Chains A and B, each alone.
Chain A
Amino acid sequence: MQLKKTQRPRNIRRQLAAATCTLLAGTTHAGSLIASGDNWKIDSALLIYAEKDRVSLAEGVLNIRKEIDDDEFINARIVTDVLTGSSPNGAVPSNTAQTFTNPSGNSSYTEAANTTPLNHTFKDLRNALSVEWDTPFSRSLRGTLGGNISREYDYLSTGISVSLAQDINQRNTTLTLGISLNKDTWDPVGGVPVGFTAMPAFPAKKAIDGAKTDKTVKDILFGVTQIINRQTLMQLNYSRGQSDGYLTDPYKILSVLENDGSGNLRGTNPYVYENRPDQRTHQSLYWKGVHQFHNENVLNVSYRYFWDDWGIQSHTVDLRYRFDFDGGHYLQPHLRYYQQGAADFYRQTLTDGEENTLSYASADYRLGEFVTQTIGLKYGFEFKNGAEINFRAEMITQKGKDRSADAVGILQNQQLFPDNEAYLLQGGLSLDSDMVIKYIMGFFKK
């Protein structure tokens, strides 16, 4: 019954090794290599933003994107930022020193003559989390559901958003519809001031309308993205948003001048709290084009026209041009030009009695007429495994319209719009390799 084996044994070692490799690795050797990059993506960035003599901000962002099923993603973003420094309080400079009460009402501070009065109490830590679930409904329709929460010591913002993207025209055109709803709560230091009431001289207390107040913001967006050719695509969005509730800045005040054209602050109650409408509807048209030239450089340019029923109109042009070099290096200059007109109720100062006749007024420089210009350069390096490291440096200047000719009396010699200059430094790191994720997991396990 024995089987005679006479033929020479075959060499099977290599085939056996390949089979064993498949058995042990849990997948073919190709599998472990490919699955990695498509599954996890971690992006992180650290931003340092510093204004000359004003606020400084350090902001860290961590973004984790994971493919949980085919084409279905969970995206989570964690942001922490620390803000320190001072911000214009709305009052105009004067030829004498000025004294203001802190928002808490527990102390006061004095600003020297001929300087823009700043509120020095800003020191804030913000933590924000947003999570998005992005899933396909069919081969041409996908949806995104998002939620976000952001917490500062005096501000809480929560929101949800939903958007749908439908591909048509052989996937050359994508129609987007998005809506979002945000509910924000102010818990300002010292309570919510009553608009147009006087900022009392310490130790008197300001008139307040409760400790907390809130607002809701609803947005809707329609977009069309069109592939123009193999190298070009464009996007056009129309969006409309409505804010309701407390839209005033509880820390901003206005200087009230004497009625005599002297430009002097009035003798009693020289400062009043600002007061804005409790509703705002804004709209914007946004266009963006991305084009790749034959030398593989990419131009990314956008234009936004924004207008609202407060009378603000703005134009924003943003331009980024990416030069690719051999070996994964790239350089990307960035230019941005922003020009805005003032809100109808923007006033640099009030004159005595005006607070009783006007419905709204604010001296917040952000509602005034100004131009912001940004110039920056980014350097990036893409590793062969898909990771990327990048740095950028930018300079931002903000310049208001010179209104000294309209100013009265002694104010003609003052810089009424608080021009600003800021520097931005950012470092970023993106990873999407399995090894690194394992490393990080191991680190957290420790």
Chain B
Amino acid sequence: MPGLERKADYFVGHFDAMASNCEVLIDTEDENLAQEITRLAAAEVCRIEQKYSRYRDDNVLHQINQGAITRVDEETARLLDYAQQLYQLSEGQFDVTSGVLRQAWHFDGSDKIPTTARIDTLLPLIGWGKIQWHHPHIQLAKGMEIDFGGIGKEYAADRAALNISTFIAGQSDTHAQNTAALVNLGGDLAVTGPRKNGHGWQIGVTSGTSTLSLPAVDFSLKQGGVATSGDANRYLEKDGVRYGHVLDPRTGWPVEGAPAAVTVIAASCTDAGMLSTMALLHGPAAEDFLREQSVPYWCQWHNREIVERTPYP
């Protein structure tokens, strides 16, 4: 049940979904409007969660993962098309079929490194190229599975923001039409546009590690979205080697020397999320990759334990 809280000159709607604290900041003083917008965002996020959660057995994802020939709906088809494009753009590094590696890797801070033999049994089950995807039909080989976990939250944030925009555009009074909102799904956020006063939304990024007390980075966001990938607390350590949680689907092993976390600002939350994930997959070259994309980013490294950043242009 979404909650609503009045702030100085805006409202904050709260709800829980996708294992995150979700909030919607609504630049209005009209409580009914704020209520409606929160409800709209919550409904969309929950819809996407239910449809693509891998923990459910009543959704389209489950059906696909059973290995049967599945005729998918338009939205799922778009996600699959998108996954295919990501696979191509990342030259195989971003692969929605890599989720099966979870069976071998448990990043719980322990030293339980899987054996090479174990990994090798999983590798045949990974690879977008092994999937039969002919719009609108999909079929997976036995044992393979698809996981939209790497896209879902960012996609949900953008979809929620898009739904809010459509709703606002349909309002009849000009006050309501000028309302802007920010959707924040546990750090992945999307805005519908600048605030009423024409300024951007003030956003602070705090360090992901609890051991560090770095000053928060503040910036202003008028358009698009922000996403962070990585989690410094998820790793394994054995014989002095630290195994980060970012797995390369082509080898089944963690990417060596990847940053702990990367935050990116882009045209949409989904874009930002994909760029930050791909940056992690570039390992030590993460920042080279980000600079090549010329997007504003914040990169947090384990070894140097500092946050480097590109100033917001």
Do A and B have CB atoms closer than 8 angstroms in the complex? Answer: yes
Interface residues of A (CB under 8 A from B): 1-3, 5, 8-13, 15-17, 19-24, 26, 435, 438-439, 441-443, 445-446
Nearest 6 A-B pairs (CB), nearest first? A442-B170, A9-B289, A443-B172, A19-B85, A13-B293, A23-B82
Chain B positions 151 through 174: 1 when the CB is less than 8 Å from some CB of chain A, otherwise 0:
000010011001000100111110
Contact A22 B293 (CB under 8 A): no
Contact B250 A13 (CB under 8 A): no
Chain B residue with minimal CB distance to A445?
A: B170
Contact A1 B81 (CB under 8 A): no
The reply to whether the CB of B23 lies closer than 8 angstroms to some CB of chain A is: no
Please tell me which one of the listed residues B173, B268, B293, B295 contacts residue A20 in the complex, with CB atoms under 8 A apart. B268
Contact A2 B82 (CB under 8 A): no
Please tell me which one of the listed residues A10, A15, A438, A441 contacts residue B292 in the complex, with CB atoms under 8 A apart. A10
Q: Secondary structure at chain B's binding surface: helix, strand, loop or mixed? A: helix
Contact A8 B282 (CB under 8 A): no
Contact B274 A5 (CB under 8 A): no
The reply to whether the CB of B285 lies closer than 8 angstroms to some CB of chain A is: yes
The reply to whether the CB of B74 lies closer than 8 angstroms to some CB of chain A is: yes
Contact B170 A19 (CB under 8 A): no
Contact B155 A23 (CB under 8 A): yes
Contact A26 B158 (CB under 8 A): no
Q: Are A2 and B78 also in contact (CB < 8 A) when A19-B85, A20-B267, A438-B166 are?
A: no
- Chain B residues with Cβ below 8 Å from A1 are 116, 119, 251-253
CB distance from B277 to the nearest CB of A (A): 11
Interface residues of B (CB under 8 A from A): 74-75, 78-79, 81-82, 85-86, 89-90, 116, 119, 155, 158-159, 162, 166, 169-173, 248, 250-253, 255-256, 266-268, 270-271, 274-275, 278, 282-283, 285, 288-289, 292-295
CB distance from A435 to the nearest CB of B (A): 7
CB distance from A303 to the nearest CB of B (A): 47
Chain A residue with minimal CB distance to B278?
A: A12
Q: Are A5 and B169 also in contact (CB < 8 A) when A13-B294, A16-B271, A24-B268 are?
A: no
Contact B248 A3 (CB under 8 A): yes
CB distance from A1 to the nearest CB of B (A): 5
CB distance from B150 to the nearest CB of A (A): 13
- Chain B residues with Cβ below 8 Å from A2 are 248, 251, 253, 255-256
Q: How far is the CA of A12 from the CA of B288 in the complex (A)?
A: 13
Please tell me which one of the listed residues A8, A22, A23, A438 contacts residue B170 in the complex, with CB atoms under 8 A apart. A438
Q: Are A15 and B89 also in contact (CB < 8 A) when A9-B288, A9-B289, A439-B172 are?
A: yes
- Chain B residues with Cβ below 8 Å from A445 are 170
Contact B289 A24 (CB under 8 A): no
CB distance from A427 to the nearest CB of B (A): 22
- Chain B residues with Cβ below 8 Å from A11 are 292-294
Q: How far is the CA of A138 from the CA of B31 in the complex (A)?
A: 53
- Chain A residues with Cβ below 8 Å from B82 are 19-20, 22-23
Q: How far is the CA of A5 from the CA of B89 in the complex (A)?
A: 15
Chain B residue with minimal CB distance to A18?
A: B85
Contact B75 A26 (CB under 8 A): yes
Contact B155 A446 (CB under 8 A): no
- Chain A residues with Cβ below 8 Å from B293 are 11-13
Q: Are A23 and B172 also in contact (CB < 8 A) when A2-B251, A13-B275, A13-B293 are?
A: no
- Chain B residues with Cβ below 8 Å from A8 are 288, 292
Q: How far is the CA of A8 from the CA of B287 in the complex (A)?
A: 11
